[in-house]
């Protein structure tokens, strides 16, 4: 079954025949809903999920991230120019950004702190701008004729700053939240204006111009470990949640209803006569694994038993 070129050619033919046969087969003949649900119940097991996710997070993700850290080429190279143009067109569509995203950006302590600092500096500078401007444009100011009066004005300005500072802080304490709300609503009202569309396009262009190494610059081993723990805990939490299992079961029922009366090719909208996987390459790539399985003691024992049953049946028929 494995020696010479003929078995390899038969393996290739089996791949081709299987592909065509599967596309012509009704989905209900390939998948049993009850068995699929039983499999889902078995897979959505907290202990199993943890056992499967832990090595992936601990080993595979670290290797992938380590390789990506070495990639200093822009991400945009994966998108041809026409795809980037299409992406920019999509970003310009009205209604792309949900208003709640904008409101979330303008809420929270961090946003209030940034706005407080910016407004405080602006209001303080503006509050002392007029007195200083009057001194500067005074006919006597530029020539120093004010003398002691000039020093008095400077002193008054300093006192004014001391008096205004607590008033500014009091104003900001009561007004920052309202200002943020107004800023959010203003942004929402202008969300599909040319300036907003240009902002979205500029942001995406910036991301495409950066490399995987740039995005993973801060992803040290400690962060990777923390993210791995988050993935494991989240996977286990979902597995322990009854709604997860019920949701999967409902999805299977809906999928089987959708596939009713359809072949696999119809369901996937694949025309087997035109769309074909690389059969030869798949056959060559899987041949070593196939021959290894056939050479295993388990497979040898199964084939010996099968051969004995065939011989017994042949002898029974002959008798």
Tokens of 55: 């090595």
How is 183-237 classified by DSSP, letter by letter? HHHHHHHTTTSHHHHHHHHHHHHHHHHS-HHHHTTT--HHHHHHHHHHHHHHHHH
Question: What does the pLDDT look like over 247-302, one tens digit per residue?
Answer: 999 999 999 999 999 999 998 888 877 778 899 999 999 999 999 999 999 999 99
Q: How far apart are CA 313 and CA 310, in angstroms?
A: 5
Does the pLDDT at position 109 exceed 80? no
Q: How far apart are CA 92 and CA 200, in angstroms?
A: 8
Tokens of 148: 């002691």
The answer to whether 90 and 222 have CB atoms below 8 angstroms apart is no
Does the pLDDT at position 2 exceed 70? yes
Write down the pLDDT at residue 128.
66
Neighbours of 279 (CB within 10 A): 16
Neighbours of 191 (CB within 10 A): 19
Q: How much is the average pLDDT of 52-68? A: 79
Write down the pLDDT at residue 10.
94
Question: What does the pLDDT look like over 193-252, one tens digit per residue?
Answer: 888 888 888 999 999 999 999 988 877 778 878 888 888 888 888 888 889 889 999 999
Q: How much is the average pLDDT of 137-161? A: 59
Does the pLDDT at position 143 exceed 50? no
Q: What single DSSP character describes residue 239?
A: H
Higher-pLDDT residue of 56, 312? 312
Tokens of 299: 């497979």
* Three-state DSSP class for residue 25: coil
In terms of Cβ atoms closer than 10 Å to its own Cβ (0-12, 13-18, 19+), residue 231 is middle
Beta bridge partners of 26: 263
């Amino acid at each position: 079954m494995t020696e010479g070129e003929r078995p390899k050619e038969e393996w290739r033919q089996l791949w081709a025949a299987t592909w065509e046969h599967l596309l012509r087969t009704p989905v209900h003949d390939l998948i049993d809903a009850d068995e699929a649900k039983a499999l889902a119940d078995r897979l959505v097991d907290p202990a199993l999920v943890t056992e499967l996710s832990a090595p992936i997070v601990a080993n595979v993700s670290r290797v992938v991230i380590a390789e990506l850290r070495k990639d200093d080429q822009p991400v945009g190279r994966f998108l041809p120019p026409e795809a980037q143009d299409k992406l920019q067109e999509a970003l310009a569509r009205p209604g792309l950004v949900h208003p709640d995203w904008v409101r979330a950006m303008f809420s929270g302590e961090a946003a209030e702190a940034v706005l407080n600092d910016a407004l405080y500096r602006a209001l303080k500078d503006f509050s002392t701008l007029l007195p200083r401007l009057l001194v500067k444009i005074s006919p006597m100011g530029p020539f120093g004729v004010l003398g002691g009066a000039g020093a008095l004005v400077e002193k008054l300005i300093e006192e004014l700053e001391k008096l205004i500072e607590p008033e500014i802080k009091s104003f900001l304490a009561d007004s920052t939240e309202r200002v943020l709300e107004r800023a959010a609503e203003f942004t929402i009202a202008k969300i599909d204006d040319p300036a907003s569309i240009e902002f979205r396009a500029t942001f995406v262009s910036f991301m495409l111009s950066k490399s995987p190494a740039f995005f993973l610059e801060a992803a040290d081993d400690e962060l990777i470990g923390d993210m791995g723990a988050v993935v494991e805990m989240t996977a286990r939490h979902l597995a322990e949640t009854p709604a997860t299992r019920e949701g999967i079961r409902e999805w299977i029922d809906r999928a089987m209803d959708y596939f009713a009366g359809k072949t696999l090719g119809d369901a996937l909208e694949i025309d087997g006569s035109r769309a074909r996987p690389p059969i030869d390459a798949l056959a060559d790539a899987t041949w070593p694994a196939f021959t290894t399985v056939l050479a295993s003691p388990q497979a040898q024992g199964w084939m010996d038993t099968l051969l004995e049953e065939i011989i017994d049946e042949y002898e029974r028929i002959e008798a």
